[in-house]
Amino acid sequence: MANSSSSEFVVQFWGVRGSIPTPGKETVRYGGNTSCVEMRLGGKRLIFDGGTGLQRLGQSLLSQMPVEAYIFFTHYHWDHIQGFPFFTPAFIPGNCFHIHGTVPPDAQSMKHHFIERVLHPNSPVPLAGLQADLKFYDIVPGDTVTLDDITLETGYLNHPNKAMGYRVTWNGHSVFYCTDTEHFPDRMDESVLHLAQNADLLIYDAMYTDEEYHHPKSPKVGWGHSTWQEGVKVAKAAGVKRLVIFHHEPTHSDDFLDQMTEQVLEAHPNSVLAREGMILEVA
């Protein structure tokens, strides 16, 4: 079964929040689930990160069985993996998932790390229930992954315990998924700037405002996240066509993000704040 029209390239957001899920009346419009982004292009389905948004994505796939998808992890902090034990399609025979990510220095392989460390000690669901065909692929930042006519370029992101960004290119169009990363105070991150160059869409970790990042009583320097102001700088320097503000801070309510939207649009009109369920057409 084809996962998408062979002529479309769309991005759908299933989880846009950072650090911890934030359900409640103050986060209804933008959403409270953690990182999960789906790209449908070239007849394939690519999934980036497995935060709690992955559970919602899984429910949407139940009417499309059997399904094949390619999953790419930026890193393994909880807000990027905690949805996988509740990803229903992984428990259904006949489905196939190609799982990509880095291997920590003390792990044997991506498969060993994912099953024995990411899932086993943290999952309330017996792993024997994972009946889908799970295939694992070890990659390191700097590698290029090719899926037929789809190309994924990777690079280091500035984040505690390290993370990896993905630039996805197909049919002359590119999307750079750039989370979790922290900007440098004295220069632009060369890796980020390179992967963002002339991208149609830049999905950027703008967890904080500049004011929060440099707050004298509670600075966020060294926490591994950036600001929307820095995202605008990258977008302008790299000639990005559209900037997507992503990985919203848990305490940022819908009203706060509405105010941020006005500020972002004033600084960079061709921008949008990510919302759960939002679909953006790339081509």
Backbone angles phi, psi at 107, to 5 degrees: -105, 155
Q: Confidence band (pLDDT; 50, 70, 90) for 217?
A: confident
Q: Confidence band (pLDDT; 50, 70, 90) for 4?
A: low
Domain limits of the chain?
A: 9-281
pLDDT at 9 over 90: yes
> Taking the model in full, what pTM does it have?
0.95
pLDDT, average across residues 92-110: 91
What is the pLDDT at residue 1? Answer: 39
What is the pLDDT at residue 117? Answer: 82
Contact 57, 31 (CB under 8 A): no
Contacts of 93 (CB under 8 A, 6+ apart): 131, 132
Contact 74, 139 (CB under 8 A): no
What is the pLDDT at residue 216? Answer: 86
User: What is the dotted CATH code of the domain comprising 9-281?
Assistant: 3.60.15.10
Q: Confidence band (pLDDT; 50, 70, 90) for 2?
A: very low
Q: pLDDT tens, 41-100?
A: 999 999 999 999 999 999 999 999 999 999 999 999 999 999 999 999 999 999 999 999
What is the pLDDT at residue 246? Answer: 98
Q: pLDDT tens, 179-215?
A: 999 999 889 999 999 999 999 999 999 999 999 999 9
Of 265 and 223, more confident: 265
Please state, rounded to an integer, the average pLDDT across all residues of the chain: 94
Contact 196, 232 (CB under 8 A): no
pLDDT at 5 over 70: no
Percent of the chain whose predicted confidence (pLDDT) is above 70: 98
Whole-number Å distance between alpha carbons of 35 and 72: 12
Residue 29 structure tokens: 């419009």
Q: What is the DSSP string of the chain?
A: --SS-TT-EEEEEEE-B-SS---SGGGTTT--PBPEEEEEETTEEEEE--STHHHHHHHHHGGG-S-EEEEE-S--SGGGTTTGGG-GGGGSTT-EEEEEE---TT-S-HHHHIIIIIITTT-SS-GGG--SEEEEEE--TT-EEEETTEEEEEEEE--TT-EEEEEEEETTEEEEEE-S----SSS--HHHHHHHTT-SEEEEE--B-HHHHT-SSS--TTSS--BHHHHHHHHHHHT-S-EEEESB-TT--HHHHHHHHHHHHHH-SSEEE--TT-EEE--
| Structure-derived torsion over alpha carbons of residues 68, 3, 82, 228, reported in degrees to the nearest 10 | 140
